[in-house]
Every structure is written in C-alpha cells, then in structure tokens.
Amino acid sequence: MASPTDEGAFKTPKNVRVRSFLGNGGTPVTIPASPFMKKLGCGTGVNVYLMDRAGKVNASPWAVKKINSKCATKQLAVYQKRLNKEAKLLQGINHPNIVGFRAFTTARDGSKCLAMEYGGEKSLNDLIEKRREDGLKAFPAANIEKVALHVARGLQYLHNEKKLLHGDMKSCNVVIKGDFDSIKICDVGVSLRLDENMKVLDPKAEYIGTEPWKPKEALEEEGGEITDKADIFAFGLTLWEMMTLAMPHLEMLEDEDDDNEDNEDDEDSFDEDAYYERLGTRPALDEGALGSSYRKMVELFYLCTEENPKKRPSAIQIVQALESNSLLAKTPSEVIVGD
C-alpha cells in the first residue's frame, strides 16, 4: 500500500472530478487522489494505482496510471506525451490479452490520468521475484506455455491487426490475475507503427525498449532495421525469465544479491564491459536443469532469440504452433512451423 509520503508533500487531497474521453457523452469520472489508492507499481516517469469502484453497480476496479510528480520538470513533457499516446492507442485496442482502455482524464492541475482495465494485482516480474525469494526454481512448464500462448496472441493482434510494435516487451509489462487465469500485455506507450511489411513505418522513430531486452538491431550502435521481430526477441527473453527467474544479462547480479547481504560492492564489481558486450545476444540457459517437459519452451526461446531477425518466427507462427500443440522447427535458412 502506498503511503502519503510516496508522492511527496501535498495539501489535503480531494477527489478530482474530470471528464473522460469515453464515448458515453462525457460522463464525469471521479479519480481519487494518489494517497487514497493502493500503489500497484511504477514505471519510467509514472506510478500505477488501484482505483476501487466498489460504489458502482457490478463495477470492477481500474488501474490508474499517473505521471510521477517527482520527475524532473524537463522530463514531464516527455512522459505526458507518452501517456497521451498510450491513451489514444488503447482506445482503438480490443483484445482479451491486452489491458483495455477505460478513461483518459484531466485533473485540475492539468495533469493526465489514464484509467485502464485492471488486468491483475501482480506483474509477471512480481511473480518471478516472489518465486526466487521463496527459493523455488523455474515456473512449471505448463504455466510458461500458457503465458507464451496468451502473450503471443496479444502480439499477433498488435502486429497483424493494429500494425503496432509493442516496443517494450518484458515480464514487467505482462499482468497476471489469479493462478494464471488471466494474462494480459500492458504499457503500449512506446509502441511504434508498422507498415505492411512489418517494418517500423517512420525510419526516424526511436525504439525505446528496455536495455536488457533489446535485440541487436535496436541497439544504438547497430542502427539496424526495426521490425515486428524486435518484439519477438524480447518475448523470447520473457520466457527465459520464467525459466531462470533472472533478468537478461544481469544474472550475475542476482547471484551477488544472494551472497552479499550488504550489496555495498555490487557497483564496483559489476563488469560493465561484459554486460554491454552481451546485450542483444541470447543469454545462456541450463537446459539440463529444466527437464524434458520444458522442451517446447526451450526450443521457442532459442528460435525467438536468433540474432538474425529473419530467422525468428512471427507472432502468428508462434500462436499457430502452440494452438496446434506442434513444435517450431528450424532449418539453416528459415524458420517454419511444423510437427
């Protein structure tokens, strides 16, 4: 639960009456002040809160994304633009594996609030961290396969129907409800438009992503062509996260965290050169520690993290293979779906 100090000093909070961009005639929406909502998490420049709508008939809670008031002034405009973009995109998205749009509102101080479907109390990253803290190993293969299928369905919809590259796939941007009863992609604020060939429409558009999940072609020094396959590389690393309970290319920090309670020397001992050399590559995976039940997910991870984007499967190929319970097969020159 977020405490009042999470948002810094504030005057006596009041509910803010705002109007949404929903197609409901501009029905007023009341968004509680941040200290009166449970803080679900945070991202770059934003905080996400749980908005309880218990007073509404048959109303489910909303997740409300707000700009972090502690951001430097020069960054506020950037994050505001990103939130505006996400709101507009979400209004046109309707898929069971992507969090839905609920309202986009303006507070009295001019700040924006994006209200979304509440996809689940935990992100996949939260579940990974909890499992690691409990001393457990990889998620059961069935859970990983279910996440793979549902996330791939969401990506297929974004890529093929909406012509959008998500642009920041990772465990933090997958929300889970219950015992994997619901699996949804969130945070489309840095997505990029795709053309009919699945290439980023604007060659000058910046791929934001998150460094450890970036494919080789998205790294600044590479300057490669960005396509839908950038999401596939990050998708593969998300499956790797579930099998290793680690962060891509930073697994040595996880070991240090376990061995060094004070963590005072972590920064000094971190091999920055080795880290940057590994970015955009496939992290190691101990297949022997996983067992035969993980065969399909191990294979999918390897295919999705091919350095050459053309050798990675598309989202639709992944969905077809998983729905038909077949294996993805690879030849030296191409990736195909087969038995």
Kindly name the residue from 168, 187, 228, 231 that is annotated as catalytic.
168
Residues 6+ apart with CB under 8 A from 221: none
Instruction: Kindly report, residue by residue over 153-180, the tens digit of the pLDDT.
Output: 999 999 999 999 999 999 999 999 999 9
What domains sit in the chain, N to C, each tagged with a CATH number? 34-117 (3.30.200.20), 122-253+274-329 (1.10.510.10)
Report the SS3 class of residue 185.
Answer: strand
So what's the pLDDT on residue 52?
84
263/282 Cα distance (integer angstroms): 27
Instruction: Give helix then strand counts, H and E, for the chain.
Output: 9, 14
So what's the pLDDT on residue 72?
58
215/41 Cα distance (integer angstroms): 26
147/157 Cα distance (integer angstroms): 15
101/71 Cα distance (integer angstroms): 25
So what's the pLDDT on residue 266?
58
State which residues of the chain have pLDDT below 70: 1-28, 54-58, 70-74, 107-111, 221-223, 251-269, 326-339
Query: Is 168 assigned a catalytic role?
Result: yes
Instruction: Kindly report, residue by residue over 188-205, the tens digit of the pLDDT.
Output: 989 999 999 999 999 889
So what's the pLDDT on residue 33?
76
Kindly report the average pLDDT of the chain as a whole number.
Answer: 81
